[in-house]
A and B are shown apart, each in its own frame.
Chain A
Amino acid sequence: MTFLQPWVLAALPLVALPLIIHLINQRRFQTVQWAAMMFLISARALSRGYSRLRHWLIMALRMLAVAAVILAVGRPLSRGWLALAGGGRPDSAVVILDRSPSMQALDAAGGGSKLDTGRRQTVESLTTLRPGRCLLVAAATRGPEEVADPAAIVELPSAGPSAASADIPAMLQSAYDFLRENAAGTSEIWIVSDQRASDWRPEDGAWGNLRDAFAKLPQQVRFQLLAYPAAAAGNVAVRVGSARLEQRGRDRSLVVTVSVTRADDPSRVTLPLKFEIGGVTTSVDLELTGREAVLKNHVIPLGSAAPPRGFGRVSIPADADPADNEFFFVYDEPAPRRALVVADDSSARRVLELVAGIAPEKDVPATVDTVTAGGLATAAWDEAAVLLWQAPLPTGRDAELVEAFVARGGQVVFFPPESPGDAAFAGVSWGSWTTHPKPVAPESWRTDQDLLANTLSGGALPLGELEIRRSCGLKGEHVALASLPGGAAFIARAAGAGGVCFCTTTPSARDSSLASEGIVLYALVQRAVDRGRAVLGAARQLDAGPGAAELAASAASWSRLAGPEAAPSTEAGLHAGVFAAGERLFAVNRPATEDVSAIVADDRIDALFRGLSFSRTTGRAGDGESIVQEIWRAFLIAMLLAIIGEGLLSMPRRREAEQASRGFPSVEAAA
């Protein structure tokens, strides 16, 4: 329980006042000469149970009445079922607002979205608490934004819905930086979220650092989570997997792959998918029987006069979460599939040239440039999509070139050289070679995403059929995409550098069967090419978030072509839509994780805040109740009840009263 005037609680020892008065009265006794001792002796011998109980009940009720008065004057606050232990009016309150698309799920009764409800309940609570300062952290890309009045949070454009996932650890870091730099006093951090794993990132190593950092702050910091974890029933999300332009004779067509997903698995439904391209709307029905359905390579004729570059939108009928009912896409003539190969081993080089040079699309030629280590400076970096590197890790000027390539979105796949050396790239370096006595095959790999994901038809890549005869260890922070028996990485991505992959063996026949069982290597390389090529074209699909925001900020002009108009310009890259920056088109949509993200369990979240003052209040979208309420009236009622109870118990019983007033019955008549 929290009190607005906690200093009044210093008067709580007055609760003992009735007891003290009772003890003083006990000591102030009188002495009388008494004749009827036999009645006193009998009275003492009679059962004292009820009398003693009544005596102590009266005492307890008196103490309760005093306590209720003191607590009522302290202006207690109710925080729902989960109350914080103690505390008063905070000096500062930081509101961390999860504005991710999943927070826009609506209440079935039409009571508003989770975001609306969370904002309203937070504003009501802070209006009651009246903190000295109130700050809003609405995005990880911005620092805390001070608001003069908590009520303004509801009106702020920056507190509105967003298409980006909320990076809760980063937002907490932002709040921490503010508290540390401003030496704020007692602080409360209110987190409004639906506990999605994509927002909370419970596996993020930053949580441990945050816990330690908050625990070391000199001021008291309390965390209050307003959680709305209930999933939106019957919600369906639509997403465009790919949109590519095809030239068929003189006509152009758009080939679109659309997937719809849902969290629950109710009955079969038929969804009308509505495509809007260039002001022309077409519709196609898609039958959804399970959790996911894919409309693969749907052809939308554009005609011969259609420009080679454009954008569109696909939408489904409104449901519980309006944020995932539409998806924007852009298309353009395909970018060239150019790969750079740097390889010391000739056999490996040959294999890499082959897998990079065979294009999966017949209309798009694939080009492979084999570069020697000394010729990197003159390589066609601006046109390359992928760099395949089987040589000692680059250093010096070469490393700078590769880093710049990665920074602009290029993909790099490193293969181990014969002499690994000590050089590191993106924090990862090669270890030593291990020769396996018997060929081994990768034991596990990520099939849901990234370079080794299952095919569109759902089939897994045949990694289990590979034979790895020799592998090189990895040092540094990396995330394994495939692992060998014993846990060693087979293919790994450098932590913190998204476009850098490491394959711990070479395609040389001496080291592995990557060449002979070429499907895996081919898929790996071509997927990397696709990723790298995606940033080369004039039309790009972007996930809303810090990356898109950075791109929008760096662009000379960033204008909206389609999408919600309410998005403020300061939040470019965080809202869905189609944007133009010069000659380039960008379709910004919610990240894929928003469609499938699981809920982080309560105990897992408790563990994230272990050692800190943390409490959770679980609500639901459209909840009309306030989280924090002043409840002094309840204490006054309790005091009144205590006084009434004390009065009733203190009143003499009817028989006693009658006897005291009329005397005891006479026996003269009978005698």
Chain B
Amino acid sequence: MPSRPSGSFLDQHTSRMFTDRQPRAFLDPTVLARLAAVPLVARRPMVGTVSGRHASPHRGSSVEFAEYRKYVPGDDLRRLDWRAFGRSDRHYVKEYEADTNLRLCLVLDTSGSMNFGSGAVTKIDCARRIAGALGYLASQQGDAVGISCVADGIVRTLPPRRSPAHLRLVFDVLDEARPAGPTRLPEVLHELAETTRQRAVVVIISDLFCPPADLAGAFSHLRFRRHDVAVFHLLDPQELAFTFTRPTRFLDMEGGAAIFADPVDIADRYHRAVEKYLDDLRRIVLESAVDYHRMLTDEPYEQVLARFLVGRAVARGLR
């Protein structure tokens, strides 16, 4: 564990992260400290239970003016705009936007393929870091955080809660996540779309090794349920470059049949298949308005998360 720099802000945060003195390998305090400068915001109005920093579909008592509305009997007379009455001799009620919290649902792919890593870092390692950082940032700003580990079904799930104790449970789930089994991500996403009743920011962290057409349906389903969907697409550099030179027997990490191939013979067609897959995926995420971020496992996850957070903040408009 690298030594942490001292400072009031950092100490405050690290004390929350390690309240039980349990080290979290997937959390880097320095990265979290830098990312904390940009808030995690939803791109769509959220329906929360408490006041927060996210837009709500309802009118409330924030300082953000929303609109004038004609006075109807029963309205609170304190909200009547007397100046408007003086100018127009009509009674108007001044309304403000409501602020609320969001529900962050982390969907972590724990199928066997997530255990692949041509270098020192596997895809599941990257997924843990991204999920942990997002969970921590959301919890820090008072939002509810939940997690679902999925493979050929929902392996384990925690519903969104706002408490710091719940965050520790989320971290425990991340620690204990072990990639195994095949992927049924589209079916699982459909199931989550149905079971997640309130609007949420659904962050899917996966290698998306499933037919893009199936994913399109799942994304649309989530959007239909008014969820804000974000995808972190994790890929290993070797999976793109395919730089094998010798004849190779490829064992399926998700338990499928092995394939014997001469890379010299098949590399060209492999690259074409990858290219077609990525093209299809790009078209699908554009059509589904999914916040898509591709990440290679040798890429610093801080940059990807910063891009993710800044992009949202700019789109939403900082307050």
Q: Could you list which residues of chain A lie within 8 angstroms of chain B, going by C-beta atoms?
A: 25-26, 28-44, 46, 48, 51-52, 55, 652-653, 655-656, 659-660, 663-668, 670-671
Residues A671 and B290 in contact, CB atoms below 8 Å apart: yes
Task: Name the residue of chain A whose CB is nearest to the CB of B292.
Answer: A671
Q: Taking each of A34, A40, A655, A660, which has the highest tally of chain B beta carbons within 10 Å of its own beta carbon?
A: A34
Residues B209 and A656 in contact, CB atoms below 8 Å apart: no
* Residue in B210, B249, B273, B291 whose CB lies within 8 Å of A42: B273
Residues A25 and B275 in contact, CB atoms below 8 Å apart: no
* Residue in A26, A34, A653 whose CB lies within 8 Å of B262: A26
A36-B113, A670-B282 are known; give 11 further A-B pairs, CB within 8 A.
A29-B246, A30-B246, A35-B123, A36-B209, A37-B209, A37-B253, A43-B266, A656-B267, A667-B285, A667-B292, A671-B286
Residues B294 and A37 in contact, CB atoms below 8 Å apart: no
Task: Name the residue of chain A whose CB is nearest to the CB of B243.
Answer: A660
User: Is residue B9 within 8 Å, beta carbon to beta carbon, of the partner chain?
Assistant: no
Residue pairs across A and B with Cβ atoms less than 8 A apart, 21 shown, are: A25-B246, A26-B262, A29-B246, A32-B248, A33-B116, A33-B253, A34-B251, A36-B116, A36-B274, A38-B211, A38-B277, A40-B270, A44-B269, A46-B272, A46-B273, A51-B268, A55-B265, A656-B267, A667-B281, A667-B282, A671-B286
Main secondary structure of the interface of A (DSSP, over half): mixed
Q: How far is the CA of A667 from the CA of B265 in the complex (A)?
A: 29
Residues A34 and B271 in contact, CB atoms below 8 Å apart: no
Q: A36-B113, A37-B256 are known contacts. Are A26 and B247 too (CB-CB below 8 A)?
A: yes
Give, as a whole number of angstroms, the nearest-CB distance from A592 to chain B: 76
Q: How far is the CA of A665 from the CA of B240 in the complex (A)?
A: 11
Give, as a whole number of angstroms, the nearest-CB distance from B308 to chain A: 9
Interface string of B281-319 (1 = CB under 8 A from A): 110011000111110100000000001000000000000
A-chain residues with CB within 8 Å of residue B241 when the two chains form the complex: 660
B-chain residues with CB within 8 Å of residue A37 when the two chains form the complex: 113, 209, 250, 252-254, 256, 259
Residues A46 and B269 in contact, CB atoms below 8 Å apart: yes
Give, as a whole number of angstroms, the nearest-CB distance from A46 to chain B: 4
A-chain residues with CB within 8 Å of residue B290 when the two chains form the complex: 671
B-chain residues with CB within 8 Å of residue A663 when the two chains form the complex: 240, 296
User: Is residue B261 within 8 Å, beta carbon to beta carbon, of the partner chain?
Assistant: yes
Give, as a whole number of angstroms, the nearest-CB distance from B239 to chain A: 4
Total count of chain B residues near the partner, CB < 8 A: 57
Q: A33-B116, A36-B239, A40-B259 are known contacts. Are A667 and B252 too (CB-CB below 8 A)?
A: no
Task: Name the residue of chain A whose CB is nearest to the CB of B261.
Answer: A40
Residues B266 and A32 in contact, CB atoms below 8 Å apart: no
Residues A671 and B291 in contact, CB atoms below 8 Å apart: yes
Task: Name the residue of chain B whose CB is nearest to the CB of A666.
Answer: B294
A-chain residues with CB within 8 Å of residue B286 when the two chains form the complex: 667, 670-671
Give, as a whole number of angstroms, the nearest-CB distance from A18 to chain B: 13
Residues B273 and A43 in contact, CB atoms below 8 Å apart: yes
Q: How far is the CA of A321 from the CA of B241 in the complex (A)?
A: 78
B-chain residues with CB within 8 Å of residue A660 when the two chains form the complex: 241, 243, 271
User: Is residue B278 within 8 Å, beta carbon to beta carbon, of the partner chain?
Assistant: yes
Q: How far is the CA of A665 from the CA of B294 in the complex (A)?
A: 10
* Residue in B123, B250, B276, B278 whose CB lies within 8 Å of A665: B278
Q: Taking each of A28, A31, A660, A667, which has the highest tally of chain B beta carbons within 10 Å of its own beta carbon?
A: A667
B-chain residues with CB within 8 Å of residue A32 when the two chains form the complex: 244, 248-251
Q: Taking each of B242, B267, B278, which has the highest tally of chain A beta carbons within 10 Å of its own beta carbon?
A: B242
Residues B294 and A668 in contact, CB atoms below 8 Å apart: yes
Q: How far is the CA of A645 from the CA of B282 in the complex (A)?
A: 38
Residues A35 and B207 in contact, CB atoms below 8 Å apart: yes
Residues A34 and B273 in contact, CB atoms below 8 Å apart: no
B-chain residues with CB within 8 Å of residue A656 when the two chains form the complex: 267-268, 271
* Residue in B248, B272, B274, B293 whose CB lies within 8 Å of A30: B248
Q: How far is the CA of A655 from the CA of B271 in the complex (A)?
A: 9
Q: How far is the CA of A37 from the CA of B248 in the complex (A)?
A: 13
Give, as a whole number of angstroms, the nearest-CB distance from A565 to chain B: 78
Q: Taking each of B210, B270, B276, which has the highest tally of chain A beta carbons within 10 Å of its own beta carbon?
A: B270
Residues B272 and A34 in contact, CB atoms below 8 Å apart: no
User: Is residue B99 within 8 Å, beta carbon to beta carbon, of the partner chain?
Assistant: no
B-chain residues with CB within 8 Å of residue A38 when the two chains form the complex: 209-211, 273, 277
Q: How far is the CA of A31 from the CA of B264 in the complex (A)?
A: 16
Q: A43-B270, A656-B267 are known contacts. Are A34 and B209 too (CB-CB below 8 A)?
A: no
Q: How far is the CA of A40 from the CA of B112 in the complex (A)?
A: 17
Q: How far is the CA of A40 from the CA of B209 in the complex (A)?
A: 12
A-chain residues with CB within 8 Å of residue B256 when the two chains form the complex: 37
Residues A668 and B307 in contact, CB atoms below 8 Å apart: yes
Residues B116 and A44 in contact, CB atoms below 8 Å apart: no
Q: How far is the CA of A31 from the CA of B258 in the complex (A)?
A: 10
Residues A653 and B251 in contact, CB atoms below 8 Å apart: no
User: Is residue B143 within 8 Å, beta carbon to beta carbon, of the partner chain?
Assistant: no
* Residue in A28, A44, A659 whose CB lies within 8 Å of B261: A44
Q: How far is the CA of A540 from the CA of B273 in the complex (A)?
A: 99
Q: How far is the CA of A30 from the CA of B241 in the complex (A)?
A: 18
Residues A39 and B270 in contact, CB atoms below 8 Å apart: yes
Q: A29-B246, A664-B275, A667-B285 are known contacts. Are A44 and B252 too (CB-CB below 8 A)?
A: no
B-chain residues with CB within 8 Å of residue A666 when the two chains form the complex: 294
Interface string of B17-29 (1 = CB under 8 A from A): 0000000000000
* Residue in A35, A55, A652, A668 whose CB lies within 8 Å of B293: A668
Q: How far is the CA of A623 from the CA of B244 in the complex (A)?
A: 60
* Residue in A25, A34, A653, A665 whose CB lies within 8 Å of B116: A34
Give, as a whole number of angstroms, the nearest-CB distance from B266 to chain A: 5
Give, as a whole number of angstroms, the nearest-CB distance from B89 to chain A: 51
User: Is residue B236 within 8 Å, beta carbon to beta carbon, of the partner chain?
Assistant: yes
Give, as a whole number of angstroms, the nearest-CB distance from A70 to chain B: 26
B-chain residues with CB within 8 Å of residue A659 when the two chains form the complex: 240, 271, 275
Q: How far is the CA of A41 from the CA of B211 in the complex (A)?
A: 12
B-chain residues with CB within 8 Å of residue A34 when the two chains form the complex: 116, 250-253
Q: How far is the CA of A42 from the CA of B269 in the complex (A)?
A: 8
* Residue in A29, A41, A652 whose CB lies within 8 Å of B260: A29
A-chain residues with CB within 8 Å of residue B285 when the two chains form the complex: 667, 671
Q: How far is the CA of A165 from the CA of B210 in the complex (A)?
A: 92
Residues A31 and B249 in contact, CB atoms below 8 Å apart: yes
